Chain A
Amino acid sequence: MQVPAPFEYERATSVDHAISLMERLGSTSRLIAGGHSLLPMMKLRLASFDYLIDINDLHDELGYIEAGPDELRIGALTRHRELLESATLTAAFPIFADAERVIADPIVRNRGTLGGSLCQADPSEDLSAVCTALGASCVIRGPGGAERVVSMEEFHVGPYETAVGDGEILVEVRLPVRPGCGSAYEKVERRAGDWAVVSAGAAVWLDGDVISDARVGLAAVGPNTTGIPEVSAALRGQTPSESLFEQAGAIAARSCDPATDQRGSADYKRHLADELTRRTLRRAVERARS
């Protein structure tokens, strides 16, 4: 039996309650959402905390997917399964359903949350790559209810480190809605339910037959999810073509920084960054056109 070290536990009744508990208990406390990243670390005793503040009762407040004219807003406690099954989300950004189908397994997806995924900031985590591709921004609430909004680029500050500070909580992810969008996600894994060897998400915005904007996010090829501005620059204003995708793939491969591990060699991962960038761009363009 794997058991965590002893800890105390309290269920938050509101976001502000959770914040006040964190303020009071300080850095030895942790929020627990789905628990699918936090609990395994605690059970292996790689991490231990004096207090866990459970936010699962806040689903009313923090679990939603709302489409507005300019942006789509997702509450931080929205579960993988809800992301997978949301028709609204799939219609706007099919990249989510692509990714969710290959994240973990149904048991993990029933509990794991968008907020937990982003805040865990695991370099191989998939939803960060999705959010990076879509140019998402994150809404962080702190003591006294003060909110700040940061871009995905600012959100990740290192492996397992985010912009969420002491006493703060991620409440919402905002995805800008612009016309002509197509998006797609691809992951290579050694086995269903495994973390990515490499995965890639791409979003393109077409104006007629010209790419008005494009973004690529890669997971598992560096200390953090990798957004590649150079790819965006190379694609903007161009007409989609195989050679353009190839060019983007080559940029992706040289812009990332993978390490050799049990999942694969650095060379192979670099190759995948190229291959998957091409594949996802191709599919994103197809989707934008249809």
Chain B
Amino acid sequence: MTTVHERVDTFHDNDQKPVGYGRMLRKEDPRFVRGRGRFVDDVRLPGLLHLAILRSPVAHARILSIDTSAAEASPGVKAVVTGAMLAEQGLAWMPTLSNDVQAVLATDKVRFQGQEVAFVVAEDPYAARDALELIDVEYDVLDPVVDARRALEPDAPVIRDDLEGKTDNHCFDWETGDEAATAAVFARADVVVSQDLVYPRVHPAPMETCGAVADFDAVEGKLRLWSTTQAPHAHRTLYALVAGIPEHKIQVISPDIGGGFGNKVPIYPGYVCAIVASIVTGKPVKWMEDRFENLISTGFARDYIMRGEIAATRDGRILAIRTNVLADHGAFNGTAAPVKYPAGFFGVFTGSYDIEAAYCKMTAVFTNKAPGGVAYACSFRITEAVYLVERIVDCLADELGMDPAELRLKNFIRPEQFPYTTKTGWVYDSGDYEPTMRLAMEMAGYADLRREQQEKRARGELMGIGIAFFTEAVGAGPRKNMDILGLGMADGCELRVHPTGKAVVRLSVQSQGQGHETTFAQIVAEEIGIPPDDIDVLHGDTDNTPFGLGTYGSRSTPVSGAAAALVARKVRDKARIIASGMLEVSVADLEWDKGSFRVKGDPGKSVTIQDIAMRAHGAGDLPEGVEGGLEAQICYNPSNLTYPHGAYICVVDIDPGTAQVKVRRFIAVDDCGTRINPMIIEGQVHGGLADGVGMALMEMIAFDEDGNCLGASLMDYLLPTALEVPDWETGFTVTPSPHHPIGAKGVGESATVGSPPAIVNAVVDALEPFGVRHADMPLTPSRVWDAMRGNARPPI
């Protein structure tokens, strides 16, 4: 693989934009900056009713009775629905994305604080909210299971007594790698380091909360559902299976989405309630959750309690990695991951290193907390995996007295080893790690930073330098082993070129802010030579786009991006045949010059793609056997995942008196293969790095011992602001993916995955004078102060 440095062109004016890849302003932005975006909450239909959900105030309780009479009599109320009423229709429970079931409205018990208990439909949102207070629910409060470490104790209350024969809180076991081989390597290793780590529960907290507008037309028998979904097609199929409405009578529309980060992958009870409410009332019904509801009840992320072990030779050759994980899945297993991967892609915990053996054993448990499990820009649990390996590699460096950069450089998988099969069976497609690492070190001025740190330490100042190097596995995925509830993870794409040479490309993936309308126009533009501004990108409407599994796990460019390139090539192949007719030469005599076909050796003779489009739709003759029109459709099934990588270096300063951490610098060098729009890539990286600062330093969904959620508002669940983040210093290398048609890899989650370990490593490095080897996130001033005093404690 070659690593090339790309020219950095900035096109502030889209008129100078390249026809294809390059830095162009986002096509969707004029709409957003002028406030003309159209989000679910902007959908207003005649006769619209409003739905509000009553939620459980306690974590675990039996429902003794529900009295809805006062709410029903409240002004403006049209319907009050409880779990018992849904049960009569067989709708009280719905499947989750992990083959578990989740209550739409609780019937027997509530199993987490914030669980849906009843809903009110009213003429306006205020009347609906007011009526909630009039519903009288009698609870028999039960002991909750809050600490995952106690979930399997014999006397722990059983949460899922809805499941036949269930006598404990065990959710699943999972293992990967070779236990015996790994044990053998550990037994003979010079050095073994082990460290307990907690990746606390965090929340995606998108700016736009979840919501839906359901409009069931009883005459047509058709359901139109505007909803905040990252996967409109998958949702349509699931609604068809659950609600029994035929799939062709369901239209899921995902309009502009104000951030997803995985939060909008699952189907939430609220969506189902809105559908039921529309069917019951015969009117369109809107449900928009508020911030509190979003934080306490929707898909959380992480919540892994891990022990990492690493074996190495005395001179720093890493031999094996072993880990044991306890996963807290909350009250229902709502993890959104390919079904054969209950732990997502955690199996890549061997990181970027060439090692001899690896093994992971995981136990997942139910607790009285909100369900979910994979969300928040994690590339299906790679966030946890990368944190684990990058933290224990630093622990090893500490043990060996070796520089953490040097230790990593010594153990990288070498470029000639790709495609590289890891000890847990993942086939890394391509990578050239050392140049990426060296570039980051050069940008950081690594040697100077270490010198500065020495001087500061001598003066009692606390400065830390943290490194993380990650390899991600993104772009799920090959349909032979990846599906969600039986739906294969291949993506359709359709391209139509209109007579005047303008085009529309229809995608199954749905943008939540990633800039799809620009990136996909650029991919098609590069292949077919039509300027990106002349290409409209259509997505988020199941009636008007081909089937595919949606946007999450950084899969849009690896899967749908490939589909877009290939469908454009298919159109170009047809255009070539039409051009040969127009120029009266054989196809072999034509050469493509981004936007036109030229006769080889006679540059004066050429036709543009626009000329060809007009001919394809016009009255003139077409070559023998060629149909009119210029369009194509494909379904792309990736042959492998793509494996982007990156080297991150973080510099922190800690106030020795108050223990406050300041992130002074952050250097991020990303390699996501071929770069389509560098500005959009940088935007993805900037956002992910800010996410990382949040997780490392302040974010955590905590619970008290009664199972009350302590992160139920943005005053309690802290998100970082511009004041907590430095000016990002970004760089890149380019190692194309060999199997992706344009060599691109995903980048949407790289920075969220890679930055937390870099920051934690930096904080731990700064605390070296206090003998600190590890401290768990979130590294709030109080927790850093504890670590300085030798009292580093897990956050749970």
The interface residues of chain B, by DSSP majority, are classed as loop
Known contacts A3-B126, A191-B698, A194-B718; A44 and B292 CB within 8 A of each other: yes
Q: Is A188 on the interface with B (CB-CB < 8 A)?
A: yes
Contact A191 B291 (CB under 8 A): no
Contact A3 B129 (CB under 8 A): yes
Q: Is A229 on the interface with B (CB-CB < 8 A)?
A: no
Known contacts A5-B130, A6-B130, A190-B718; A271 and B290 CB within 8 A of each other: no
Report the separation of the CA atoms of residues A54 and B617 in the bound assembly, to the nearest whole angstrom. 67
Contact A190 B780 (CB under 8 A): yes
Pick the contact of B781: A2, A44, A45, A268 (CB < 8 A): A268
Q: Is A275 on the interface with B (CB-CB < 8 A)?
A: yes
Q: Is B723 on the interface with A (CB-CB < 8 A)?
A: yes
Report the separation of the CA atoms of residues A6 and B290 in the bound assembly, to the nearest whole angstrom. 18
Q: Is A214 on the interface with B (CB-CB < 8 A)?
A: no
Report the separation of the CA atoms of residues A264 and B658 in the bound assembly, to the nearest whole angstrom. 12
Q: Is A197 on the interface with B (CB-CB < 8 A)?
A: yes
Report the separation of the CA atoms of residues A268 and B787 in the bound assembly, to the nearest whole angstrom. 11
Q: Which residues of B contact A81 (CB under 8 A)?
A: none
Contact B125 A45 (CB under 8 A): no
Q: Which residues of A contact B718 (CB under 8 A)?
A: 190-191, 194
Contact B702 A272 (CB under 8 A): no
Q: Is A159 on the interface with B (CB-CB < 8 A)?
A: no
Chain B 121-150 interface mask (CB, 8 Å, partner A; 1/0): 000011001100100000000000000000
Q: Is A215 on the interface with B (CB-CB < 8 A)?
A: no
Q: Is A279 on the interface with B (CB-CB < 8 A)?
A: yes
CB-nearest residue of chain A to B722: A192
Pick the contact of A1: B125, B133, B697, B710 (CB < 8 A): B125
Report the separation of the CA atoms of residues A191 and B700 in the bound assembly, to the nearest whole angstrom. 13
Chain B 685-716 interface mask (CB, 8 Å, partner A; 1/0): 00000000000011000100000001001011
Contact A265 B292 (CB under 8 A): no
Q: Is B786 on the interface with A (CB-CB < 8 A)?
A: yes
Q: Is A51 on the interface with B (CB-CB < 8 A)?
A: no
Q: Is B376 on the interface with A (CB-CB < 8 A)?
A: no
Q: Is B741 on the interface with A (CB-CB < 8 A)?
A: no
Q: Is A243 on the interface with B (CB-CB < 8 A)?
A: no
Contact A192 B723 (CB under 8 A): yes
Q: Is A193 on the interface with B (CB-CB < 8 A)?
A: yes
Q: Is B69 on the interface with A (CB-CB < 8 A)?
A: no
Tally inter-chain residue pairs, CB-CB below 8 A.
65
Q: Is B499 on the interface with A (CB-CB < 8 A)?
A: no
A196 to chain B, nearest CB (A): 11
CB contact list, A252-290 vs B, under 8 A? 262-265, 268-269, 271-272, 275-276, 279
CB-nearest residue of chain B to A198: B658
CB-nearest residue of chain A to B693: A191
Q: Is A93 on the interface with B (CB-CB < 8 A)?
A: no
CB-nearest residue of chain A to B718: A191
A263 to chain B, nearest CB (A): 7
Contact A264 B292 (CB under 8 A): no
CB-nearest residue of chain A to B126: A3
CB contact list, A188-209 vs B, under 8 A? 188, 190-195, 197
CB-nearest residue of chain B to A195: B715
Q: Which residues of B contact A269 (CB under 8 A)?
A: 782
Report the separation of the CA atoms of residues A193 and B718 in the bound assembly, to the nearest whole angstrom. 10
Q: Is B161 on the interface with A (CB-CB < 8 A)?
A: no
CB contact list, B397-443 vs A, under 8 A? none
Report the separation of the CA atoms of residues A40 and B715 in the bound assembly, to the nearest whole angstrom. 11
Known contacts A262-B702, A262-B716; A192 and B724 CB within 8 A of each other: yes
Q: Which residues of A contact B719 (CB under 8 A)?
A: 191
Pick the contact of B786: A195, A197, A268, A272 (CB < 8 A): A268
Pick the contact of B785: A2, A40, A268, A276 (CB < 8 A): A268
Q: Is B46 on the interface with A (CB-CB < 8 A)?
A: no
Report the separation of the CA atoms of residues A263 and B716 in the bound assembly, to the nearest whole angstrom. 9
Q: Which residues of B contact A195 (CB under 8 A)?
A: 715
Report the separation of the CA atoms of residues A5 and B131 in the bound assembly, to the nearest whole angstrom. 10
Q: Is B620 on the interface with A (CB-CB < 8 A)?
A: no
Report the separation of the CA atoms of residues A197 and B782 in the bound assembly, to the nearest whole angstrom. 9
B257 to chain A, nearest CB (A): 18
Pick the contact of A188: B288, B715, B781 (CB < 8 A): B781
Q: Is B720 on the interface with A (CB-CB < 8 A)?
A: yes
Q: Which residues of A contact B89 (CB under 8 A)?
A: none
Report the separation of the CA atoms of residues A11 and B213 in the bound assembly, to the nearest whole angstrom. 37
CB-nearest residue of chain A to B291: A2
Chain B 708-745 interface mask (CB, 8 Å, partner A; 1/0): 00100101101111011000000000000000000000
CB-nearest residue of chain A to B782: A264
B718 to chain A, nearest CB (A): 5
CB contact list, B254-293 vs A, under 8 A? 288, 290-292
Q: Which residues of A contact B713 (CB under 8 A)?
A: 44
Q: Which residues of B contact A3 (CB under 8 A)?
A: 125-126, 129
Q: Is B3 on the interface with A (CB-CB < 8 A)?
A: no
Pick the contact of A268: B290, B710, B724, B782 (CB < 8 A): B782
A255 to chain B, nearest CB (A): 19
Known contacts A188-B660, A190-B780; A1 and B786 CB within 8 A of each other: no
Report the separation of the CA atoms of residues A191 and B697 in the bound assembly, to the nearest whole angstrom. 9
Report the separation of the CA atoms of residues A3 and B719 in the bound assembly, to the nearest whole angstrom. 23
Report the separation of the CA atoms of residues A275 and B659 in the bound assembly, to the nearest whole angstrom. 11
Q: Is B657 on the interface with A (CB-CB < 8 A)?
A: yes
Known contacts A6-B130, A264-B781; A272 and B658 CB within 8 A of each other: yes
B109 to chain A, nearest CB (A): 25
Report the separation of the CA atoms of residues A261 and B773 in the bound assembly, to the nearest whole angstrom. 25
Report the separation of the CA atoms of residues A3 and B52 in the bound assembly, to the nearest whole angstrom. 12
B137 to chain A, nearest CB (A): 16
Contact A2 B702 (CB under 8 A): no
CB-nearest residue of chain B to A276: B658
Contact B721 A192 (CB under 8 A): yes
Q: Which residues of B contact A194 (CB under 8 A)?
A: 715, 718
Q: Which residues of A contact B710 (CB under 8 A)?
A: 262
Contact A275 B658 (CB under 8 A): yes
CB contact list, A1-51 vs B, under 8 A? 1-3, 5-6, 40, 44-45
Known contacts A192-B721, A275-B657; A45 and B133 CB within 8 A of each other: yes
Report the separation of the CA atoms of residues A1 and B52 in the bound assembly, to the nearest whole angstrom. 9
Q: Which residues of B contact A44 (CB under 8 A)?
A: 292, 713
Report the separation of the CA atoms of residues A195 and B715 in the bound assembly, to the nearest whole angstrom. 8
Q: Which residues of B contact A5 (CB under 8 A)?
A: 130, 133
CB-nearest residue of chain B to A272: B658
Q: Which residues of A contact B698 (CB under 8 A)?
A: 190-191
Contact A1 B288 (CB under 8 A): yes
Q: Which residues of A contact B660 (CB under 8 A)?
A: 188
CB contact list, B761-796 vs A, under 8 A? 780-782, 785-786
Contact A2 B782 (CB under 8 A): no
B621 to chain A, nearest CB (A): 61
Pick the contact of A265: B288, B697, B723, B786 (CB < 8 A): B786
Residue from the set A3, A5, A263, A269 with the largest chain B CB neighbour count within 10 Å: A3
Report the separation of the CA atoms of residues A44 and B715 in the bound assembly, to the nearest whole angstrom. 12
Report the separation of the CA atoms of residues A44 and B712 in the bound assembly, to the nearest whole angstrom. 11
Q: Which residues of A contact B288 (CB under 8 A)?
A: 1
Contact A2 B290 (CB under 8 A): yes
A42 to chain B, nearest CB (A): 12
Please list 22 pairs of residues, one from A and one from B, whose beta carbons are closer than 8 Å in the complex, sorted by A's number: A1-B288, A2-B291, A3-B125, A5-B133, A44-B292, A188-B660, A190-B697, A190-B698, A191-B698, A191-B719, A191-B723, A191-B724, A192-B721, A192-B723, A195-B715, A262-B702, A264-B780, A264-B781, A268-B785, A275-B658, A276-B658, A279-B657
State the 5 A-B residue pairs at the shortest beta-carbon distance, nearest first.
A264-B782, A192-B723, A268-B782, A2-B290, A275-B657
Residues of B in contact with A (beta carbons under 8 Å apart): 125-126, 129-130, 133, 288, 290-292, 657-660, 697-698, 702, 710, 713, 715-716, 718-721, 723-724, 780-782, 785-786
Knowing that A6-B126, A40-B715, A268-B786 are A-B contacts, what are 18 other residue pairs whose CB atoms are under 8 Å apart, sorted by A's residue number?
Answer: A1-B290, A2-B290, A2-B291, A5-B130, A44-B292, A44-B713, A45-B133, A188-B660, A190-B698, A190-B718, A191-B721, A194-B715, A262-B710, A263-B782, A264-B785, A265-B782, A265-B786, A268-B785
